[in-house]
Structure 1
Amino acid sequence: MYASSTKSTGPPGRMKKDESLLGKLGGTLVRKKKAKEVSDLQEEGKNAINAPLLPSSADLLPEELLLDESAEKTMLDPTSRENPKFKELQKVLIDWINNELEEERIIVKDLEEDLYDGQVLQKLFEKLSGRKLNVAEVTQSEIGQKQKLQTVLEAVNDLLRPQGWTIEWGVDLIHCKNLVAIVYLLVALAMHFLAPIRLPEHVSVQVVVVKKREGILQTSHVTKELTTTTEMMMGRFERDAFDTLLDHAPDKLNVVKTSLITFVNKHLNKLNLEVTELESQFADGVYLVLLMGLLEDYFVPLYNFYLTPESFEQKVHNVAFAFELMQDGGLKKPKARPEDVVNLNLKSTLRVLYNLFTNYKSAE
């Protein structure tokens, strides 16, 4: 045991020599490693100076890395995707679509995943326009989906382009789930068809544009404005007889208002109620709800609306509920938005009341 132990120990002098050699080798390796780190750092700095537009591969998706020469691709900047106002805009649009397509039993949860194949866009356009498109109901293949998208977008573009819209969407953009293109399209449809929703104002996003030039990927950032002010958005296609009346014949406005006041009081007087100011007295929705009950000859349960609304939301609820009663009575969805009536927008209130007047002027 002792001899075996002594044999495995080895000469003391040899150990020191080996340790000295390893120490020298280790020091050389450390110096080489540090030299390489310095070289790498210098190269990184050089690249940063000489190619400031060259993004890191981590910032690009695999598709961008395979771009052909002179090709270009856009994608939403990650910081814009998390923008609260952009998220709010998406939620408003999703709620609007689901409300419009409720009878179709279609539920949209994600704009990118649920709209890219054209199925929902087809149903939405048909509902809004009242026009049936000649497309296959179900398309599973990529070719079939793009054909459906082509038909839908051609119909949309034929409708919107004459109104001065810049087309910011296309078949390939929608099908590859480009969220900015999808939102652009939905905002345009909502504005054109005067959707009864409040789009968040001044929503902008940053879009990263990736180009391939001489084998090098270059990036730049472009700001895309998705919404402006409510007045500009909803006023773009809203001009009608009331705009003409207010702009060119204001002297006749009082005649119209007097006729409408006479009409509504004929029915509200049955409840010992009287209107003298159209703008303010219909703004909380209470008179509108009660008026619909009187015109259709039924009692509206008090738990369905706020009899003494205090908040803006409660007033909007009342006006929106009155709009539902109008549709239940066979009237078309009012072009005005509940929020506009609550905000004392005279033209919106006149439109709603005039619609009731034309449909119930003979009612007792």
Structure 2
Amino acid sequence: MEASVFQYHKEEDTVDIQSFQGEKQKLIQPTSLKDPKLEKLKETLVSWINNTLKPEHIVAQSLEEDLFDGLVLHHLLSRLAGVHLPVEEMALTSTAQIRKLEVILEELDKRLGLQDSSQIKWNVKLIHSKDLLATIHLLVAMVRCFQPELDLPNVKVEVVVVEVNKSGIKSEVQMEVLTEESNAGADSVSNTEREDPIEQLLKLEAHKVNTVKQAILHFVNQNMLTMGLQVADMDRQFADGVILLLLIGQLEGFFIPLHDFNLTPVNHSEMIHNVTLALDLLNDTGLQVSSVEPQDIVSQDVAATLKVLYALFKKHNGKREEELNNQNYKES
């Protein structure tokens, strides 16, 4: 699809009290809106959306402004759960947007395993009205379900609960948990367990790092043998993206047309193009390599190169990975 870049225009939040008559409406207090932890959570969720939808060339900038029409949620559901719903791509009218959200949220609630309606803190009306609180609750639930290893800051916000009835307006202030808290000890263990395997590896002794690198190098050369290619210097030979593209094609069983990349790149721009294509192909095949940008590979960043190769190694060489892990940690 064409690149869709959403423009965000900041406006003052307004609440139509009449539209919520007979209901309870929660609004985040202005002081909590300025909480750095809430800002960090919003930034993390936007980054997660953009990383997930990078192959779709969809870029979100604001949780409030970019999710209300269902486009982003539709593509997230497709990428994360492989669900393709019979809804229109671009819903331009309010009626069409609401109808699209109804289909998407019904399917999402099923995928999130929320059978009890009391657990659901969002609905079509809230999402479509750009309710920040409901939107964050929905995205946090999606992260917990589809990418639980993603670190989210612990955030509580102060909300005012407004209830409108015939006798007038009743309000009270409450604390609302956006992300569940855990004790520091549990956090420490959890973070260690979730840390990227390559980041853990690079903290070990040099001989252990070399052992793993040699095992991955052997795996690479085994798969490049039929093409008459051999890698001797892992740190440098992947920098231009050529061997990486050929390796991905060999492992995944598809041919990458030669006109799609530069077989003999002569400058930085051509190398960046090759590596960007390689990372996009990995995303398309379901391999998401965390915290790696094309520039990292081109600049011969050892950790970044290892992360990409380890992801391929892990997917295509499961038995050897188990042996590798046993060898790597038996002395720890």
> Which category of TM-score, normalised to the shorter sequence, fits these structures?
0.5 to 0.7
* Cα distance between partner residues in 2 of 1:228 and 1:218: 28
Q: Are residue 201 (structure 1) and residue 153 (structure 2) matched?
A: yes
SS at match of 2:175: strand
Residue number in structure 2 paired with 1:354: 314
Q: Are residue 175 (structure 1) and residue 135 (structure 2) matched?
A: no
Residue number in structure 2 paired with 1:101: 53
Q: Are residue 210 (structure 1) and residue 155 (structure 2) matched?
A: no
Q: Are residue 148 (structure 1) and residue 108 (structure 2) matched?
A: no
Cα 1:355/1:175, change in 2 over 3 Å: same
Q: Are residue 110 (structure 1) and residue 62 (structure 2) matched?
A: yes
Residue number in structure 2 paired with 1:125: 77
The counterpart of 2:38, out of the listed 86, 99, 108, is: 86
Letter in 1 for 2:164: K
Letter in 2 for 1:125: L
Q: CA deviation digits over 1:92-129, x for unaligned, max 9?
A: 22233233334444332221122112122112211222
* Cα distance between partner residues in 1 of 2:125 and 2:40: 26
Residue number in structure 2 paired with 1:185: 138
Residue number in structure 1 paired with 2:28: 76
Structure 1, unmatched stretches of 5+, are 1-59, 240-258, 274-285, 305-320, 344-348
SS at match of 1:161: coil
What's the offset of the Cα at 1:79?
A: 1.2
The structure number with the bigger radius of gyration is 1
User: Does the aligned pair in 2 maintain the 1:195–1:335 contact within 8 Å?
Assistant: no
Aligned residues: 246
What's the offset of the Cα at 1:156?
A: 0.6
Letter in 2 for 1:224: E
Q: CA deviation digits over 1:171-208, x for unaligned, max 9?
A: 11101111011111112222322278x54421222221
Cα 1:167/1:101, change in 2 over 3 Å: same
SS at match of 2:89: coil
Cα 1:332/1:229, change in 2 over 3 Å: farther
Letter in 1 for 2:159: V
SS at match of 1:139: coil
Residue number in structure 2 paired with 1:226: 178
Letter in 2 for 1:354: K
Cα 1:331/1:132, change in 2 over 3 Å: closer
| TM-score (normalised: structure 1) | 0.52
* Cα distance between partner residues in 1 of 2:33 and 2:276: 34
Q: CA deviation digits over 1:14-38, x for unaligned, max 9?
A: xxxxxxxxxxxxxxxxxxxxxxxxx
What's the offset of the Cα at 1:328?
A: 3.3
* Cα distance between partner residues in 2 of 1:71 and 1:173: 12
Letter in 1 for 2:176: K
Cα 1:175/1:328, change in 2 over 3 Å: closer
- Note the aligned Cα RMSD (angstroms): 4.9
Residue number in structure 2 paired with 1:316: none
Q: Are residue 160 (structure 1) and residue 160 (structure 2) matched?
A: no
Cα 1:182/1:359, change in 2 over 3 Å: farther
Letter in 1 for 2:153: E
User: Does the aligned pair in 2 maintain the 1:100–1:127 contact within 8 Å?
Assistant: yes
Residue number in structure 2 paired with 1:64: 17
* Cα distance between partner residues in 2 of 1:152 and 1:359: 39
Residue number in structure 2 paired with 1:279: none
Please, which moves more after superposition, 321-330 or 154-163? 321-330
User: Does the aligned pair in 1 maintain the 2:163–2:171 contact within 8 Å?
Assistant: yes
Cα 1:205/1:109, change in 2 over 3 Å: same
* Cα distance between partner residues in 2 of 1:357 and 1:287: 23
Cα 1:358/1:170, change in 2 over 3 Å: same
| TM-score (normalised: structure 2) | 0.56
What's the offset of the Cα at 1:324?
A: 8.1
1:35-54 aligned at under 5 Å gives the runs: none
Letter in 2 for 1:151: V
Cα 1:357/1:157, change in 2 over 3 Å: same
Residue identity over aligned pairs, in percent, reads 26
Larger helix share, 1 or 2: 1
